[in-house]
Structure 1
Amino acid sequence: MRNLKSGFILSYISIFIQSIISILYTPVMLRLLGESNYGLLQLAVSTMSSLSILSFGFGSSYMRFYSQYKADNDNNAISVLNGMFTIIFISVSILSLIVGGFITMNTSTLFGKSMTASEIKLLKTLLGIMTVNLAFTFPCSISDSYIIAQERFSFQKILIIISSLLNPMLTFPLLIMGQGAISVAICITAITVIKLLCGMVYCIKKLNMRFCFAFDKNVFKQLSVFSFFVFLNIISDQINWNVDKILLGIFSGAKNVAVYSVGSQFNGYFLTFSYALSSLMTPKAHTLIANHADNRETSKFFASFGRVQFVVMAYIYLMIIAVGKPFIKLWSGIDSNIPYYTALLLISPLLVTSIQSIGIEIQRAKDMHKFRSVLYFAIAAINIAVSIPLCIKFGELGCAFGTSLSLVVGNIIIMNIYYHKRVGLDIKYFWKEIFKFIPSLIIPILTIIVIRHFVSDNLFSIALCGIIFTIFYAVSMWFLGLNQNEKNLYKK
């Protein structure tokens, strides 16, 4: 409980620091780099991020097998698991260098139609650097998975905080000196290497992580079958969150990527807040299933998680509606409402998926994630097919709408039916618990209606309206939304 409590606090501290740094630093980068170069940097990051599919889902399968071995107190099996994952991810790192190198060498073929020769040259260099960054990222997942399995959340969150602070501290002086986007990419890679080394040293020295490099074919077969469907899920996530920038890079150009990136950055913040709590609850979800908890107990855990998550995510969502439009315009310096509407289109379905995010781990713990993975892959393919014509005709908003529509159909409607019919989660009970918040949302929504008539494009007005909304939301949620157990939880 102590580790969970400190992890919860540090999670939101790290998110707060990351968000503040990003909010302050992004407009600086936009102005120092220019929209074109900033768009190229975002395109390079997104393109190489999409290659995280090369992990083939093995990273997400670690927790399930670790929980089983831990429940059986089989330390030897855990050592074999650690050794196998090390071999797998070193192999994946080598593969990522090959695939990333191929993409880098063919930059002009992929993006030549919408970019100038100088933009192609810079993008090629950025892709090469981010390929190296990607290769170092994969081994990080070994130590990250082990730290989460040990519920040592504090170290992981402190490492995230330090790396978040290092990024602007290293890159800002270089940008002032006129070093440009290449210096930013190099710093990102350097920080990744530092995180990798710190994580591995901590696991080996402090957590006594042990490795046995005997390759167990039976375990690998089980891992492969389990991971394949996680792999499909990763592909769909990468399509949903990165393909829009790539499509805009192909059909529209670097400046359109920059405009979309500003809006999608708030989608990234939203996902980060969502992940903060669900990552802490992941070990508990797997432990429940490993200890053979019945559907009633699992459904109560699912619903209680959803309610706590809803309080945080609904606040962020409503705050964006309240002051997001003037803030994004002021913050980014882009004289357009497209980034705001892009953010709203992407975030809206995530309000539902975020409060049900622990359901993903429950499925994996029950080895029932196959349907979800196949469904998400199919929906992601439809997303591409829909987004291409929408991108050509409507640009950034067309891409965002295509992604949002796919999330509503697949991640919300179909998945809720599957949760109820197959996984054994009582979705009617879940939504009954969530709908109890409706009375507590009336006052905040009325506050938003009033605020939107008075908020203007200056920092004082935005901050004042944001504070007013926060007060009304907190008071209404405390007296009309939270039950006694949740009040006690927040007090602690």
Structure 2
Amino acid sequence: MKNYDKSGSTGRKLLMGSIFRIANLAGAVASSLFLMPLIVHHLGDRVYGFWSLAWTFIGYYGLLDFGLSSAVSQYLSIAIGRKDEAESQAVFNTALRLQSILGVVALAITVGLAAATPLLCHDPNDAAFFWKVIVVLGINAAISFPVRVYTGILESELRFDVQSGLDFLGLVLRTGLITWAVLSGGGLLALALASLVGAIPIVVLQVALARRESPWARISRTPFDRKRSKAFLSYSIYTFIATSADTLRYQLDPLVISAFIGLVAVTHYRIAGVFARYYVEALLALMRLFQPLLSRHHGAGDDEAVERVFYFATKVTLSVSVFICAVVIAYGKPFIALWMGVKYQDAYPAMVVLSIAVFLDVCQSPSVGLLYSTFNHKYYTYMNLAEGLLNLAFSIALVRPMGILGVATGTLAGALAIRVVVQPIVVCKSSHISYPVYVRFLAGNILRFGVLMGVSLLILASHSVSSYTWLVGLVSVTTSVYAAGCWIFGFSGSERGQVTKAISYRRQNRFTPITPAAAEE
């Protein structure tokens, strides 16, 4: 592998990025677990349901990206892999103009939503403040569009440590401001303003640090590049459809529950889904470390390196996804009782079902990164859309007889059909990977990590959870036992050596080749 780094080993950059991302995600989980009961207990289940719906509406703004963020990261990674600064600058300027236009569109949509608020809220009193919340959150979302280009720069340069630091700083600011707003007696509008104020300093730092990392990221007055824009859109259209399908899979659930059951049930489902959401984010954070590397190898024409990194990333992802799923199932019910109160324990069955559904999805996330890196992501789009439609259909059919558990079951049904049956076949065929080898690799490692996790849980199975102290202690011991087991029995000597080299880097500046056979040692 060629040396693309400016300041050290690629392996070390990925390792440090992984550590920072995990720490940042842990902070996000802690913030969410702290803020949710604070807001619910101060504002009530119904008002929190409104807050969830407001964020659901704003979440749809992500569809306006049209997949351009992934296209920018892909083309920047390839240009960097080829050491072509002129191309990098051209990609940057084209992307910045497109994303700025989308930011203006987001503002226009915000105005439209605010005007339509009376039609969305039956109670005029609700509409009176709900439109203001939508406006503030919409402005926050609109600002994020051009900033995504600078995020793409840092990720393409493998500076996940810098990006994670910015994310963490933003998290601290938002958490502190929202806490102050709630304790000061503020309502939803105060929460929305706190989110906006907390985001502004991060935007400024994002731009400054990205420009420092990549001096070629300069705004030029060159004519609008229609040809390059068309190339972006031809790549991103499939990402856009896939993202739309993700909306069907995850973000429509609150609307289905609100329509068929009520706002109070939205809050209970939110409790069930909080770990599933961070479960997805944890594995996506891992995959985002590897995807630019896969794109660089693909840009350099090194297919063998692409496959080696893919198998290693898959094994890392499996080890983490098995752990998170098992911990949520094992400790989810007592945690809900401690965190939100016993009356919210009805969310636990839905939490279990959602955790299994998410596991089936994220344990193969490197295969999705492989499809994107090799320009085969249209197949993922088709799969995602099929799963989203199945999810929606099953959720609507099951919500009345089964409540929030029925909506969660709809998510699981779609995952079983697509992720277990279809995805391995599609990935192997489109990427020219041996299907039997890949399936044996998946099944063998799921079994291996599952056994290690089972042993870790059985050691403490006789202990009950009666307080946060006990819960933290049990999870800490389980984590330590599992991590030690994975290091000794889960990963091969070659893989352990790869991590060790990244930590103690001196002269080595590339990944040690990891083949499927070596990974099974």
Q: TM-score, normalised by structure 2?
A: 0.87
Alignment of 1:90-129 (within 5 A): 90-112=100-122, 116-129=123-136
| Pairing 1:27–2:34 present | no
Q: Give the residue type in structure 2 aligned to 1:252.
A: I
CA contact (8 A) 1:80 1:214 kept: no
What's the CA shift for 1:489? 4.4
Unaligned runs of 5+ in 1: none
Which residue number in structure 1 is paired with residue 294 of structure 2? 285
Alignment of 1:50-199 (within 5 A): 50-112=60-122, 116-199=123-206
Which residue number in structure 1 is paired with residue 53 of structure 2? 43
Q: Give the residue type in structure 1 aligned to 2:44.
A: G
Which residue number in structure 2 is paired with residue 379 of structure 1? 387
| Pairing 1:298–2:274 present | no
**In 2 relative to 1, CA 265–240 (structure 1 residues): closer, same or farther, beyond 3 Å?**
same
Report percent identity of matched pairs. Answer: 19
**In 2 relative to 1, CA 56–439 (structure 1 residues): closer, same or farther, beyond 3 Å?**
closer
Which residue number in structure 1 is paired with residue 510 of structure 2? none
**In 2 relative to 1, CA 440–88 (structure 1 residues): closer, same or farther, beyond 3 Å?**
closer
CA contact (8 A) 1:136 1:192 kept: no
Alignment of 1:201-280 (within 5 A): 201-208=208-215, 209-212=217-220, 213-280=222-289
| Pairing 1:478–2:487 present | yes
CA contact (8 A) 1:298 1:425 kept: no
CA distance in structure 2 between the aligned counterparts of 1:292 and 1:443, rounded to whole angstroms: 38
CA distance in structure 2 between the aligned counterparts of 1:222 and 1:48, rounded to whole angstroms: 28
CA distance in structure 2 between the aligned counterparts of 1:126 and 1:377, rounded to whole angstroms: 31
Which residue number in structure 1 is paired with residue 317 of structure 2? 309
Which residue number in structure 2 is paired with residue 331 of structure 1? 339
CA distance in structure 2 between the aligned counterparts of 1:120 and 1:250, rounded to whole angstroms: 17
What's the CA shift for 1:373? 0.9
What's the CA shift for 1:357? 1.5
What's the CA shift for 1:362? 1.9
Bigger mean CA offset, 61-70 vs 9-18: 61-70
CA contact (8 A) 2:357 2:411 kept: no
Q: Secondary structure at the match of 1:351?
A: helix
CA contact (8 A) 1:323 1:465 kept: no
Which residue number in structure 1 is paired with residue 508 of structure 2? none
Bigger mean CA offset, 226-235 vs 475-484: 475-484
Q: Give the residue type in structure 2 aligned to 1:158.
A: G
What's the CA shift for 1:216? 1.9
**In 2 relative to 1, CA 485–26 (structure 1 residues): closer, same or farther, beyond 3 Å?**
farther
Q: Deviations over 1:317-360 (max 9, x none)?
A: 11112211110222122513332222222221332432322222
What's the CA shift for 1:121? 3.6
Q: Deviations over 1:104-162 (max 9, x none)?
A: 322343453xxx44444443332222111111121221110011111222211111111
CA distance in structure 1 between the aligned counterparts of 2:283 and 2:121, rounded to whole angstroms: 33
| Pairing 1:398–2:435 present | no
What's the CA shift for 1:297? 4.3
Task: Name the Cα RMSD after superposition.
Answer: 2.3
CA distance in structure 2 between the aligned counterparts of 1:55 and 1:154, rounded to whole angstroms: 24
CA contact (8 A) 1:41 1:123 kept: no
**In 2 relative to 1, CA 477–150 (structure 1 residues): closer, same or farther, beyond 3 Å?**
closer
Q: Give the residue type in structure 2 aligned to 1:166.
A: L
Q: Give the residue type in structure 2 aligned to 1:406.
A: G
What's the CA shift for 1:60? 0.7
How many residue pairs end up in the alignment?
488
| Pairing 1:10–2:17 present | no
Q: Give the residue type in structure 2 aligned to 1:466.
A: V
| Pairing 1:200–2:207 present | yes
Alignment of 1:406-425 (within 5 A): 406-425=414-433
Q: Give the residue type in structure 2 aligned to 1:367.
A: F
CA contact (8 A) 2:177 2:198 kept: no
Q: Secondary structure at the match of 1:349?
A: helix
Which residue number in structure 2 is paired with residue 363 of structure 1? 371
